[in-house]
Chains A and B, each alone.
Chain A
Amino acid sequence: MTADRPTITSRWSRLLAAIALVLLPAMLVAPPATASTDEPPCEPDDETACIAVLVLNADNDRISDVAITVAGAGFTTDLTTTADGPATVTAPEVGKYTVTIDPATLPGDQQLPEGAETELTVTAQTGGTARAAFRVGPGAEAPAAPSGGESSDGAPADAGTADDGEGVGAAPEGDASERDLTFAQVWQQIGSGLRFGLLLALASIGLNLVFGTTGLSNFAHGEQFALGAAVGYITINQMGMSIWLGGLLTLAVCAASGLAQDSAIWRPLRKRNVPVMQLMIVSIGLSITLQYVIQLMIGGGSERILSRNPQPLTIAGVTLSTASWLSMVVALVCVLGIAWFLTRTRIGRATRAVSDNSALASATGIDPDKIIRIVWIMATGFAALAGLMWGVSFGSFNWQLGVQLLLLMFAAVTLGGLGTALGAFVGSLLIGQVVELSNLFIPSDLRYASALVILILVLLFRPQGILGRRERIG
């Protein structure tokens, strides 16, 4: 998204850089001492991949002033090591990089051992630092031991390899549980939580609208979300469309899938008066089908919608990619738009009437079928938009994105109140905070579990949710 709007971005970033300078003391979390290059050291986050190079002697002391070359897809940079810390560089793209050491720059008594490679290959991944370590000097073991792809903060890199199972997910995020807790970290997590919450809200409002108007807990809604990311990947990454054109096409395709679903499956079933529970299992069947359709479309691995390295942007002390900030704005605008639509427009009011009492609504001249068709189109369209923006702002996703998020959406709407549009919004924001903040205390592979624990606790103590009405639960 960034490259399409350079002027706005740069103006904003200058302004924000000024704000960030003011807030800088709060953000400093013991930065590692910098390399001798003028650039600041690379700090990995959700969107940034770093490569760090170390040259160590047998006593694990760093050797300074060694020339290093890092080369990857169309990218080459020279580094010089220092004694203070690893020399780091920001990788422009995730992928494999070759790190080459120049033996001539090594100190005389610290030469490379016999037979040691002068080249190491590392795999840069977002949210982590790929380390390349060279062992030099007497007593160093012959093959230098690279720990390529090691995440600097212990985050499991499961997204890249989640081919086989139902892995924890789409976003390789930093696991902060092993760091010391500072205010800046909490603040950063709150910012990430807001991003999570807003995107989740945009996705789950559709789930809640469908539930409100038809009574169906749509298990295929998560796949509609993932479909947005998958179609976006195909149009933007594979077919090379611009993000706006590809995004619009994605929305059109996904909204059309909602319309097709309603007229091919849900409306005929409504006409036959099929019980809601039966519909729910039909939606599970649809969810399985769509899951494999998505897998056919994008394959079993992790994919990225934008192949560029994202530009970080700091607002009020929270650093997220520019695409993330834009996504958050779009999500907020959409949510507000939906709220306006539901409360101020004729069709929106009719939607709420059908939601309240379908029979009564049709007695007043509202055509529930028409309303429900609109609701399906809206639900699938906004889910796709959320999925697309998710894929853009969280970096990578895989075909399991849908089911992962479905349960969080259920948690959000249950927490907020099933069947209430505002409830989905409030619930989503809370779930977003829970997921991201729990990152600070528990291993990051369990952060989604925390949201589901909340879901179960809500059902224990306040089953109607924060904003729900008692009658809905009975």
Chain B
Amino acid sequence: MEEFLRILTQSMGELLAPTTAAYAMAAIGLNLHFGYTGLLNMGQAGFMLLGAYGFGITLTSGGSFWLALLVAIAAGVLFALILGMPTLQLRGDYLAIVTISAAEIVRWFGRSTLWQEWTGGASGLQGRYYKEPFQELSFLPDGRWALGPLEYINTGSDSWWTRIVAWGLVALVLLFVWLITRSPWGRVLKGIREDEDAVRALGKNVYSYKLQALVIGGAIGALGGVIFALPAAIVPDSMGRTMTFFVWTILLLGGAASVFGPVLGSMIFFAAYMFMRTGMRALAENTGVGDVITTTNVEQIGGMLVGVTLMLLVIFRPQGILGNKKELAFNVR
């Protein structure tokens, strides 16, 4: 029973964890791409990694926190422009292939020895090089604080301050996305998702709108990368394809083309993921299951279940929890 409570607490902790916020943020960006505009961006992790690098490298070379945030956003914007300009005129799956390849290129360059002095190579940028300016901004008093069973220090890596900033940013971006998607601009995006040619017939420049959506969503993805880097380090290999696919699973779980879908999806995904892994690990350690499932296998089985979840979601409930089946971008073409 005590064990069960511990697992439950750990899973609850995931609901508010900075990583959950980071993935929620990335999924909000992806929602703008896929949910509202119908763009298949399979390289969201590339945006996140670039954002994290932009943030981390600016801070390590002496820039201020706000400058670093701007550089991160600029990196996302630039990446979106480079990717979008050649590919947005092509069919959807080309964008998918190009974005996943470009994200891999970013990761390979990041882990290469070529720019090791900036990126830290495969071992990445350690958090201690860039975290200080961020933690100096904290106005929380020293010490620890507990919310029910969840207790963290006020300022530090895995702290309340990180959580407040992360979720504060998510709330701001959520408000921003809610406002722009119900504006005339947002309605054009949805129009493109439903029928590109009809929108073109109305005299709208479809290509330009798609590019704008890609840029804004990419910038939001870069912010997600910044949040991801705040409590941890910037390690290129932890921000690869798996991350992109997790973001997709989160978006489709919560519901594409819905405002709160990404946030809800991220919370449920990570709480369930943690519950499943800690639960299996506890079973493996304390019962006879351990002979069949070792602790390393738990991670692998966890990953398999994510894959199966994604498949089942797309097949049986593509609109996710909050989405509307009529608003699904899958029907395009």
Contacts and interface: CB of A to CB of B under 8 A. Distances in A.
A292 B90 contact: no
B90 to A, nearest CB: 5
B93 to A, nearest CB: 5
A158 B112 CA distance: 11
Interface in B294-325: 296-297, 300-301, 303-304, 306-315, 318
B118 interface: no
Interface string A257-301: 000000001000100001111101110111111111101100110
B104 interface: yes
A274 B92 CA distance: 16
B313 to A, nearest CB: 8
A282 B314 contact: yes
Given A166-B237, A407-B101, A452-B105, A289 B307 contact: yes
B242 A166 contact: yes
Interface centre among A287, A443, A459 (most CB of B within 10 A): A459
Given A296-B301, A446-B112, A280 B93 contact: yes
B131 interface: no
Contact of B107 (A166, A274, A291): A166
B101 A452 contact: yes
A116 interface: no
Given A168-B111, A456-B102, A277 B93 contact: yes
Interface string A426-454: 00000000000000000101101100110
Interface string A447-470: 011001101100110010000000
A456 B90 CA distance: 12
Contact of A280 (B96, B235, B313, B332): B96
B241 interface: yes
A275 B102 contact: no
A448 B242 CA distance: 18
A414 interface: yes
Contacts of A165: 111, 122, 235-238, 240
Contacts of A407: 97, 100-101, 104
A285 B318 contact: no
Chain B interface main SS type: helix
Chain A interface main SS type: helix
A281 B308 contact: no
B65 interface: no
A288 B86 contact: no
Contacts of B313: 285
Q: How extensive is the interface on chain B, given as a class? A: 35 or more
Contact of A463 (B94, B108, B301, B311): B94
Interface in A378-421: 403, 407, 410-411, 414
B114 A443 contact: yes
Contacts of B307: 285-292
A292 B315 CA distance: 21
A291 B98 contact: no
Nearest to A297: B300
A156 interface: yes
B248 interface: yes
A440 B320 CA distance: 49
Contacts of B249: 285
B93 A288 contact: no
Contacts of B105: 449, 452-453
A293 B98 CA distance: 27
Nearest to B237: A165
B91 interface: yes
A273 to B, nearest CB: 10
A456 B333 contact: no
Contacts of A463: 90, 94
A445 B122 CA distance: 10
B331 interface: yes
Given A167-B237, A292-B304, A460-B86, A452 B330 contact: no
Nearest to A275: B330
A320 to B, nearest CB: 25
A460 B102 CA distance: 13
Contacts of B96: 217, 280
A459 B86 contact: yes
Contacts of B113: 156, 443, 445
B114 A284 contact: no
A164 interface: yes
Interface in B144-196: none
Contact of B311 (A217, A289, A295): A289
A158 B122 contact: yes
A164 B306 contact: no
B101 A285 contact: no
B310 A455 contact: no
Contacts of A455: 97-98, 101
14 contacts: A265-B311, A275-B332, A281-B248, A282-B314, A285-B310, A407-B100, A445-B111, A445-B112, A449-B105, A449-B108, A452-B101, A452-B104, A456-B101, A456-B102
Given A166-B241, A282-B315, A456-B86, 20 more contacts: A165-B111, A165-B236, A269-B315, A275-B333, A277-B92, A280-B40, A281-B310, A282-B314, A284-B310, A285-B307, A285-B308, A287-B307, A288-B303, A288-B304, A292-B301, A296-B304, A446-B108, A449-B108, A459-B87, A473-B90
Interface of B: 40, 42, 86-87, 90-94, 96-98, 100-102, 104-105, 107-109, 111-114, 122, 235-238, 240-242, 245, 248-249, 252, 296-297, 300-301, 303-304, 306-315, 318, 329-333
Interface of A: 156, 158, 164-168, 217, 265, 269, 274-278, 280-282, 284-293, 295-296, 299-300, 403, 407, 410-411, 414, 443, 445-446, 448-449, 452-453, 455-456, 459-460, 463, 473-474
